[in-house]
Amino acid sequence: METILIVDDNKDMQFNLSNILKDEGYEVIAVGDGRGALKEVKMRSPNIVLLDIRLPGMDGMKILEEMKKINKDLIEIMITAYGDTKDAVKAMKLGAFDYIAKPFNNEELILTIKKALQSQYLSREVESLRKSLWEKTTKVVGESPQIKHVLKQVKIIAPTNMTVILQGESGTGKELIAQMIYQNSLRKDKPFIAIDCGAIPETLVESELFGYEKGAFTGADAQKEGKFEQANEGTLLLDEITNLPEAAQVKLLRVIQERRLQHLGGKKDIKVDVRIVVATNTNLSEAVRAGKFRVDLFHRLNEFHIALSAIKERKEDIPILAKYFLDEANQELNKKVKGFSARAMKLLLDYHWPGNVRELKNVIKRAVLLTETEDVLPAHLSIDIKPQNEFKLEKHLSNSASFKDIIRKIESELIKNALEEAGGNKSKAARTMYINRKALYRKMKSLGL
C-alpha cells in the first residue's frame, strides 16, 4: 500500500484529502507544519507528499528544499491557491513533480497522484535495471584484484565530466568499461556514440567527427552531422585515437577546448557539450615521445587514466569468464552444455591468450557449438596448447660447455621466461619461481640481466 503524506495547516483540508485518498486505498499521514512533515519523511518514507505552499513558519518552498536533502527521489505535489501558479512553477523548478490548484477536482487529484506513482515506479525500474546491468557487466569482466581496482576507478570517475583514457591490449574490454562509465554517469540518458579512429580513411576523418555542409566535397549531397553533434550532451568514445592524423588531432584539440566546431565547408560555429572517453592499445605518453601524438592533445585528454590488464595477468578471472561465455553461447546456439572438464579448464588456464577476453569468448562459443557431450573437452578447444615459453634443456648442452656455464644459461633463460610471463614485474616473476624478490635481484645482477 502506497503512503501519502498531507502537509496542510487547514484541518478541514486535511480531513477531506484524507477521506478521498483512503477511499482510493492509500495509507494517509496528515500534519500541519514543516517540522512535522520533515519528521514523517525521515521516519515513514512516504511515496508522495501533498504539500501546501502557504504554511505558517516554514513555507512550502523551504520544506520542499529540506525534503530533497533527506530524499532526492521523493515525489512532491504542491497544493496552491488559485492565482499562486507562479510559486507552483518555481516549486517545480526546485524538483516538485506537479501542482494542483484549490479548489481542485477529485478526479484530477487522483489522476495526478497515479501519474506520480507511475513515474516513481518507472524510475525505480530503470535504477534496478542499471544496477542489474552493473552486476552483469561486473561478472563479464571478472573478480580479480586488477578488475576490482578498475571497477573502483569507474565508480569514482563515472559521475564526473572528466575525460578518461582507457589503455589496454586489444580484446581487454575497453569499450565495455567505456559503456560502464557512461551508464553510471550523469549523462546516462543522453547518447553514447563510439567511433573507431583506425577504421576511417584519413580523408574522411574530419567529416566523420565534425560533420560537413552540402557541397563541401564531391558526393556531399546534403548536410551531415558529425559524431560530436550526434553525441551532444552525451558521451563520445574515440577508440584507437593514436590513428588520428595530425590535422585531425589539431582540430580535435580545438573542439575540446572551445566546445564548439564548424562543419567541413561551413562557417557557422556549433556549440557542443560532449564527455570524451578515449581508448588505446598503445601507451599514449610513449606515442608522444615518439612524435606520433601531439603533446598538447595528450595533456588535454589525460585527466584520468585507467589501465586494463591482459587476461594472462589475471588468470583467476578465466573460470568466471568462461562460465559466463558458455551460458551466453548456450542461449544463443540453443545448446545445454553444463561446463568444462578438468583438463579443458587446465588448458584454458595454461593458454597465454594473445587475443585476451575477445579470444576467450570466441573459443568458448566455438567449443559449445562443437560439443556433443555434457562438458567441453580439450578436443573442443581450438587453441594452440603449446607453452608460450617452452624450456628445452638440450639446447644448452654442448661438449665444450662447463657445468657452471650450463647452469648459468639455464638460470638466465628461466628468469627471462618468468619476467616475460609476468610482463616485466619482478615481484610477480619471483613469486612464480618460488624465490623472494631480493634473491631474484641478486641472481639477475650476477647473470648480468
Q: How far apart are CA 300 and CA 282, in angstroms?
A: 17
| Pair (212, 168) in one structural domain | yes
Top-confidence residue, 443 or 254:
254
Same domain, yes or no: 184 and 302:
yes
pLDDT number for residue 384: 67
Residue 7 sits in the same domain as residue 78? yes
Can you give the pLDDT at residue 257?
93
**Percent of the chain residues topping a pLDDT of 90:** 43
Final residue of a domain: which of 58, 93, 123?
123
Last residue in a domain, options 251, 281, 309: 309
* Domain closes at, from 309, 326, 358: 309
In a domain, 136, yes or no: no
Task: Indicate if 337 and 425 belong to the same structural domain.
Answer: no
Closest by CA to 237, choosing from 287, 263, 274, 288, is 274
- Are 261 and 339 members of one domain? no
Question: Could you tell me if 11 and 94 lie in one domain?
Answer: yes
Q: Residue 125 — very low, low, confident or very high, per pLDDT cuts 50/70/90?
A: confident
Mean pLDDT of 377-392: 68
| Banded model confidence at residue 157, pLDDT cuts 50, 70, 90 | very high
Question: What residue type is assigned to position 411 of the chain?
Answer: E
Question: Given its phi and psi angles, is residue 268 left (phi above 0), alpha (psi -120 to 50 degrees) or beta?
Answer: beta
DSSP β-bridge partners for residue 41: none
pLDDT of 403: 66
Number of structural domains, the chain?
4
The torsion angles phi and psi of 264, rounded to 5 degrees, stand at: -60, 125
How far is the C-alpha of 445 from the C-alpha of 289, rounded, in Å?
A: 30
Per-residue pLDDT tens over the stretch 269-305: 999 999 999 999 988 998 999 888 999 999 999 999 9
Residue 219 in grid coordinates: 558526393
Helix (H, G, I), strand (E, B) or coil at 351: coil
pTM over 0.75: no
Quote the pLDDT of residue 131: 65
45, three cell numbers: 518514507
Stretch 265-271: mean pLDDT: 91
Residues 277 and 208 in one domain: yes
Minimum mean pLDDT range among 238-242, 306-310, 414-418: 414-418
Mean pLDDT of the residues in the chain: 86
Dihedral angle computed from the Cα positions of residues 396, 399, 402 and 408, in that order, rounded to the nearest 10 degrees: -10
Between CA 229 and CA 264 the distance in angstroms is 13
What CA–CA distance (Å, rounded) separates 273 from 313?
A: 37
Q: Does residue 439 form part of some domain? A: yes
Q: Report d(CA 287, CA 217) in Å as an integer.
A: 32
As given in the structure block, the three cell numbers for residue 175 are 569499450
Check whether residue 298 and residue 334 sit in a common domain.
Answer: no
> End-to-end distance of the chain based on CA atoms, in angstroms?
73
In this structure, is residue 134 part of a structural domain? no
pLDDT in tens, 324-349: 899 999 999 999 999 999 989 999 99
Residue 135 within a domain:
no
CATH code, domain carrying 18: 3.40.50.2300
Higher pLDDT, 426 or 187: 187
Are both 293 and 403 inside the same structural domain? no
Domain membership flag for residue 137: no
Residues 264 and 407 in one domain: no
Burial of 212 (0-12, 13-18, 19+ CB in 10 A): buried
CATH of the domain at 429: 1.10.10
Please check whether residue 129 lies inside any domain of the structure.
no
When pLDDT is cut at 50, 70 and 90, the band that residue 201 belongs to is: confident
Segment 19-46 mean pLDDT: 91
* pLDDT score for 139: 57
Q: CB–CB of 98/53 below 8 Å?
A: no
C-beta separation of 422 from 310 below 8 A:
no
Q: Is residue 373 part of a domain?
A: yes
Domain containing 53 equals: 3-123
116 and 87: one domain? yes
Tens-place pLDDT, residues 58-84: 888 889 989 988 988 889 998 887 666
Mean pLDDT calculated for residue range 355-376: 92
**Domain match, 196 and 287 both:** yes
pLDDT at position 388, please? 46
- Let me know if residue 128 belongs to a domain: no
Whether 248 has a pLDDT exceeding 80, the answer reads yes
Cα distance between residue 185 and residue 159, in whole Å? 4
- Higher-scoring residue by pLDDT: 196, 446: 196
Which pLDDT does position 137 carry in this prediction?
A: 61
The CATH number of residue 205's host domain is 3.40.50.300
